[in-house]
Amino acid sequence: GESVGLHLPTLSVQEGDNSIINCAYSNSASDYFIWYKQESGKGPQFIIDIRSNMDKRQGQRVTVLLNKTVKHLSLQIAATQPGDSAVYFCAESPGQGGKLIFGQGTELSVKP
Amino acid sequence: EPEVTQTPSHQVTQMGQEVILRCVPISNHLYFYWYRQILGQKVEFLVSFYNNEISEKSEIFDDQFSVERPDGSNFTLKIRSTKLEDSAMYFCASSDDVGQGVGGYTFGSGTRLTVV
């Protein structure tokens, strides 16, 4: 069936270190992937996205890597800051204008 | 930056009562969605809405749920007879015709529904 899952439920890093959050997906038809950040009591906030015709995409301090061969997605955060502490979800989209399938979420905790 | 707004932020209701959760999507968006998130769990898709009709719904979205776009700006989720297990955070989202990129698929801040 369709599922998007995360390898690590919690991740604790020191301020200034790089963080890597991983995600596995199972729907080969998905052609678009998004990473969301969710702070307590708030809705998912867009971080970065990637289409299936790309392997890597960089934003400000964040990089998303897509490995379609093993159906794996990762989010790299450079120089992690306390404000990065949140739950991070990957989501996949099987098609345009359609639903998103979310993963379980990884809680990132940044120690000062 | 345009926002999706949801009201109320918190709703407490008695089991068996009807609730209506309200959302104002981004004005130029064409697709509208409801998701829910039970405390500590992942965000789950409920329903998508396009061109004044439901385009897709999940198994969660049973006969107790309905959606409506009563005017040009609001998008509502109604639960006819709430159950304890309906307690969750409900997120409205909207997307443009591409549905990608910053602002392409945007979530509201959610309504926390507590059924007692």
pLDDT score recorded for residue A101: 92
Does any CB of chain B come closer than 8 Å to the CB of residue A45? Answer: yes
Percent of chain B, pLDDT > 70? 94
What is the chain A residue with the closest CA to B92?
Answer: A43
Give per-residue pLDDT as tens, B10-40.
999 999 999 999 999 999 888 999 999 998 8
Residue-level pLDDT at B113: 98
Q: Which of A32, A43, A99 sits opposite B91 (nearest CB)?
A: A43
Give exposure, A70-83, as e/b (b: 16+ Cβ within 10 Å). ebebbbbbeebeee
How, if at all, do strands A56-58 and A4-5 pair? unpaired
A103 in contact with chain B, both atoms CB, cutoff 8 A? yes
Rounded CA-CA distance B72/B62 in Å is 25
What chain A residue is nearest to B103 in terms of C-alpha separation? Answer: A46
Query: Mind listing the pLDDT tens digit for each residue in B36-56?
Result: 999 888 899 999 999 899 999
pLDDT at A94: 78
* Portion of chain B with pLDDT greater than 90, in percent: 75
Reported as a pLDDT band with limits 50, 70 and 90, residue B101 is low
Q: Beta strands B111-115 and B88-95: pairing type?
A: antiparallel
| Average pLDDT of the residues of chain B | 92
Contact call for A43 and B107, based on CB within 8 A: yes
pLDDT given at position A96: 54
Residue of A nearest to B91 (CA): A43
Min distance A81 CA to chain B CA atoms (Å): 22
Residues of chain A predicted below pLDDT 70: 1-8, 95-97
- Computed over its alpha carbons, how large is the radius of gyration of chain A? 13
